[in-house]
């Protein structure tokens, strides 16, 4: 955070992360059952008030994700988890999205790659357009 994210934000740049605190809530609290308050305390200590403006959730049924993982080679330690773990993780992400007051954009990742890419592009274009409107000079 101190080496990459904060300097980039201070310079007025956008920061894209492939994982952030929401992944900790989904995998550790949702998947493994860790206490949310403990994670929230750690989040506050590490991040302070830093929080994402927008989260893109690529959502697909667990069996779809598992089928895609099979073709990638040796699974990592998370990919070796049981299906029930991933069902809990997915449910946790969806709960975070429902409780986020509009920060999440849910992308239907069960569709073919080109369709997912198209929806991602559309969402990103909308975000850039909104940012441009908010930052126009008078």
Domains and CATH numbers, the chain: 5-104 (3.40.50.300)
Looking at per-residue confidence, does 136 or 29 come out higher? 29
Percent of the chain topping pLDDT 70:
95
Higher pLDDT, 20 or 132: 20
What residues pair up with 107 in beta bridges, in sequence order?
A: 58
The answer to whether 97 and 106 are in contact (CB under 8 A) is yes
In this prediction, residue 79 carries a pLDDT of: 83
pTM of the model: 0.85
132: confidence class by pLDDT, cuts 50, 70, 90: low
CA distance 109 to 128: 22
pLDDT score, position 80: 84
Instruction: Output b/e per residue, 19-30; b: 16+ Cβ within 10 A.
Output: ebbbbbbbbbbb
Q: What is the arithmetic mean of pLDDT over 4-8?
A: 94
Judged against a pLDDT cut of 80, whether residue 134 lies above it is answered with no
Is residue 94 within 8 A of residue 59, CB to CB? The reply is: yes
pLDDT, tens only, 51-109: 998 999 999 999 999 988 887 878 788 788 899 999 999 999 999 999 988 899 999 99
Distance CA 89, CA 98 (A): 14
Q: What is the pLDDT of residues 113-122, one digit of tens each?
A: 999 999 999 9
Nearest in space to 123 (alpha carbons), one of 22, 26, 61, 55? 55
Place of tokens 């403006």: 53
């Amino acid at each position: 955070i101190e080496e990459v994210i904060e300097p980039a934000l201070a310079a007025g740049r956008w920061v894209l992360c492939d994982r952030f605190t929401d992944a900790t809530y989904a995998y550790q609290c949702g998947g493994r059952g860790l206490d949310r308050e403990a994670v929230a305390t750690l989040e506050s200590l590490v991040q302070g008030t830093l929080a994402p403006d927008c989260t893109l959730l690529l959502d697909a049924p667990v069996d779809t994700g598992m089928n895609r993982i099979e073709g990638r080679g040796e699974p990592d330690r998370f990919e070796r988890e049981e299906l029930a773990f991933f069902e809990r993780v997915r449910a946790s992400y969806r709960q975070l999205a429902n409780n986020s007051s509009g920060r999440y954009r849910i992308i239907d990742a069960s569709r073919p790659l080109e369709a997912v890419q198209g929806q991602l592009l559309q969402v990103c274009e909308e975000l850039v357009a909104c940012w441009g409107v908010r930052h126009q000079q008078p």
